[in-house]
Amino acid sequence: MNASARVVVIGGGVVGASTLYHLAKIGWTDVLLIEKSELAAGSTWHAAGGMHTFNGEANISRLQKYTIDLYREIEALSGQSCGLHPNGGLMLAATPGELDSLKLICSRARYLGMETEMISLDEARRLNPLIDATHFIGALWRADGGHCDPSGTTHAYVKAARQLGASVERFTRVLSLGQRRDGSWDVVTDKGTVQAEHVVNCAGLWAREVGHMVGIELPVLAMEHHYLLTEDIPELQGRDKEIVNTTDYAGEIYMRQERAGALIGTYEPHGVIWSPVKTPDDFSMQLLPDDFERLAPYFELGFQHFPALGRVGIRKAINGPFTFAPDGNPLVGPVRGVRNFWVACAVMAGFSQGGGIGLVLSRWMADNDPGQDIISMDVARFGAFATPKYTSLKVPENYSRRFRLAYPNEELPAARPVRRSPIYDKLKAAGAVMGASFGLEHALWFAPAGVVPSETPTYRRSEAFPIVRAECEAVRNTVGLYETTNYGKYEVTGRGARAWLDRVFASRIPRPGRLGLAPMLSPTGRIVGDLSIACLAEDRFLIVGSGFAEEFHMRWFWASEPPADVFVRSAASTLTGVSIAGPRSRKLMQRLVRDDLSASAFKLFQVRQTAVGFAPAILTRAGFTGELGYEIWTTPDYFASLYDDLWDVGRELGLAHFGGRALSSLRLEKGYGSFNKDFRPDYSAGETGLDRLVDFGKSDFAGRAAALAERAAGPKRRFVVMEIATADADVIGYESIIKDGVAVGYVTSGAYGHCIGKSLAAGYVPSALARDGERFEIDILGESRAATVRLQPLYDPQGLRLRA
């Protein structure tokens, strides 16, 4: 074994093998994979080998398609068969909600370039004659997908990587990891020590333990998973092709053909955690004991939906552990504070996602940029809240729902509430229906007295629709209160703070007493942050952004290497806040603030430190509703008193609560985009329109060269808001935008504009088509709806109310 390597990849499953191959492919040939046993000996070897492109996140779907398309490439390079069965995928719906889900998938597929269509149940039975169609109401077919040989695919990756110069050491156990002062690593094994510039944790079932070697607790846990192999099925005799891989939402069953029989698996409720504290060191090429008694009711449902399966015997049962993150998506990327340490773990769907993960990780390591938006897989989507207890509750919940719909208005209950603001109980008493973001509870909408604070999960408008309308009208007509504690908040202090921020952000850094909108760009000019910066003093700044991105942005700040005279810290748990918005907001605030808040004395985007009632606070003239408004920040010990003070003086002015659903409606009426929904690392400053905030006169800032090049050439696409004609349902996200029968763009977010009486969709279209009045069509749950671009905000286009 060599004494040094540029990269050591720990773990020889399909994800580690893919990572090794992709690093070698970009020219990093001095890479070494270390596997403690045989290749694929953890959870890879006993996987069902399914591959598909279905995912609720469009960017993950793209990576899954890349993975499937990649297999022919590595077969050709390695000479090793992947055992491909590219027979496509079939999804079955038994309820109207499930059918809506399939229609949404179909709409999204057009822009993604994936051959997909809604088909009749008769056609579904031709693709899979084992289906009892009486249990279903609709079906969707997709050309991409099938299954592969897990062991053959893993070895194909490794053989291809070796041909490119990579190395593999099997039966070599990593004992510890130690970091040197220069950031390189000593990888200590039972066969000697390897000095490596980078370490990648692809350890699968042992990813948690490898994380412990560098002092981190990864939110990953293994679950037992069962599938069955049947004896030969007479109904499959004489077919010239295999049946199509089939997913049954209602039965929570997946199935495919295995030789002349079938493979059937389930993600049952009340799943069993495997090795909750520590994975055994000697677990290799092993299965777990069967548990038929517990699983029988769930497989019985599958036998009802596919009766031929129940008429033959079971040839073999497989029960093996697979790892999951709390939300079911992989954990990929660098870890803040641990230089040159990368993770690629919790990849349950390794044969659908492994290739794509290897691709983005290799780009990230080489170019400091993954090459596309992977926020939904980024390890930074979890923070300190994702403790072992949290993970132990969320992983089983996610496992049990893997083939159950996740409706866009549905909030899952496990491990909640974890993080609560000091006014949580007060908001609940006021009827708040809560969601959770980055573990923190926040209000979605408020049930009036006598109304049950819950709603039916749906892809369409729920019973909350008229309630959200009333919240929006209250903000537009009187005054509303929205808790902003769930925003991300950061304090930057020190003598060098301004100069450092000037390099990190593309915008002009505001002077004391002012607030500025501040895009943050990657080296390739992509949007990695849409934040605001308030200058409290020449050496003290408050930055506010999206709460879900707290760890993402803290990692970005850390990677931007603040000098010794700059101090950056998260204020997520030390600052709480509310937004007061509406035409009566100044009158309300003036009753609590002695400073003059008149329009001439306290203008838009001004900030000051003052007392608001009992609370010492940071007060900004800003908001996200398009109305006259203020944001108030104070420490948690004053927050309940601030809330009470606001209600004491605001009640007679018509003060009303409003939640996140209303905020989404209000901001789209003004044409405001939102980070994570509309502005993500897939989009550039010019495409989003945030180039209007870029200070191109600065000599140096991250992404400057790319932003200048785009300004010279012009963006290829642009962010627009569209008015949807006569819709009785609103867009969800990633629906295709159609022009003359061709998918030319996609939706990023949408809502009903209650105060303008129109359904709205935001998204990206080619720049040449981003004209006011340009007409498109959007498939909304199977219905083609006219969509018209509106370049000016549909509410208060001159911004007079905002500046009142």
CA 14 to chain CA centroid, Å, is 23
Which pair of tokens denotes residue 665?
A: 């409606």
Q: How far apart are CA 90 and CA 87, in angstroms?
A: 10
| Contact predicate 139/121, CB 8 Å | yes
Q: How far apart are CA 124 and CA 713, in angstroms?
A: 48
Q: How far apart are CA 745 and CA 56, in angstroms?
A: 17
Amino acid 779: pLDDT: 95
Q: Which residue in the block uniquely carries the two structure tokens 């070599």?
A: 172
SS3 for 245-312 is EEEECCCCEEEEEECCEEEEEECCCCCCEECCCCCCCCCCCCCCCCCHHHHHHHHHHHHHHCHHHHCC
Q: Which residue in the block uniquely carries the two structure tokens 């537009």?
A: 476
- Determine if the peptide bond prior to 417 is cis (ω within 30°): yes
Amino acid 275: pLDDT: 98
Q: Which residue in the block uniquely carries the two structure tokens 């800003």?
A: 622
Give the number of other Cβ atoms within 10 Å of residue 164's Cβ. 18
Count of positions (residues) in the chain: 804
The 3-state DSSP class for residue 434 equals strand
Amino acid 718: pLDDT: 98
Alpha carbons within 13 A on the beta-carbon side of 552: 28
Q: What is the DSSP string of 465-484?
A: HHHHHHHHHHHHHSEEEEE-
Amino acid 238: pLDDT: 92
Q: How far apart are CA 270 and CA 389, in angstroms?
A: 17
| Contact predicate 257/236, CB 8 Å | yes
Q: How far apart are CA 498 and CA 492, in angstroms?
A: 9
| Contact predicate 14/157, CB 8 Å | yes
Question: Helices in 676-789 by DSSP H: which ranges?
Answer: 685-688, 704-713
Neighbouring-strand partners of residue 718: 765
Q: Which residue in the block uniquely carries the two structure tokens 């609709």?
A: 138
The residues of the chain scoring below 70 in pLDDT are: none
419: which DSSP letter? B
Rg (C-alpha) for the chain, rounded Å, is: 27
The vertex-194 CA angle with 193 and 195, nearest 5°, equals 120
Q: How far apart are CA 209 and CA 383, in angstroms?
A: 18
Give the number of other Cβ atoms within 10 Å of residue 181's Cβ. 5
Q: For the chain, how long is the longest CA-to-CA vector?
A: 86
Q: How far apart are CA 245 and CA 253, in angstroms?
A: 11
| Contact predicate 291/226, CB 8 Å | yes
Pairing of strands 253-258, 341-345: unpaired
Which pair of tokens denotes residue 593?
A: 């603030």
Helices (H) and strands (E) in the chain, counts: 19, 38
Q: How far apart are CA 415 and CA 219, in angstroms?
A: 13
Amino acid 406: pLDDT: 84
Q: Which residue in the block uniquely carries the two structure tokens 């203008």?
A: 603
Q: Which residue in the block uniquely carries the two structure tokens 């677990």?
A: 283
Sign of the dihedral through C-alpha 490, 380, 270, 201: negative
The 3-state DSSP class for residue 37 equals coil
Neighbouring-strand partners of residue 535: 541
Sign of the dihedral through C-alpha 695, 697, 698, 704: positive
Q: How far apart are CA 691 and CA 685, in angstroms?
A: 5
3-state percent breakdown (helix, strand, coil) of the chain, nearest 5: 30, 30, 40
Q: E strand or H helix at 504, and its extent?
A: helix 497-504
Q: How far apart are CA 359 and CA 441, in angstroms?
A: 35
With a CB cutoff of 8 Å and minimum separation 6, the contacts of 699 are none
Q: How far apart are CA 95 and CA 102, in angstroms?
A: 11
Q: How far apart are CA 173 and CA 280, in angstroms?
A: 13
Q: How far apart are CA 764 and CA 138, in angstroms?
A: 30
315: which DSSP letter? E
| Contact predicate 765/778, CB 8 Å | no
Question: Helices in 671-792 by DSSP H: which ranges?
Answer: 685-688, 704-713
Which pair of tokens denotes residue 358?
A: 């290897």
With a CB cutoff of 8 Å and minimum separation 6, the contacts of 387 are 217
CA dihedral 282, 287, 292, 298 (to 10 degrees): 110
Q: How far apart are CA 506 and CA 509, in angstroms?
A: 9
Q: How far apart are the first and last CA of the chain?
A: 71
Q: How far apart are CA 557 and CA 242, in angstroms?
A: 52
Give the number of other Cβ atoms within 10 Å of residue 335's Cβ. 21
Stated pTM of the model = 0.96
Amino acid 358: pLDDT: 98
Type of residue found at 252: E
Type of residue found at 299: F
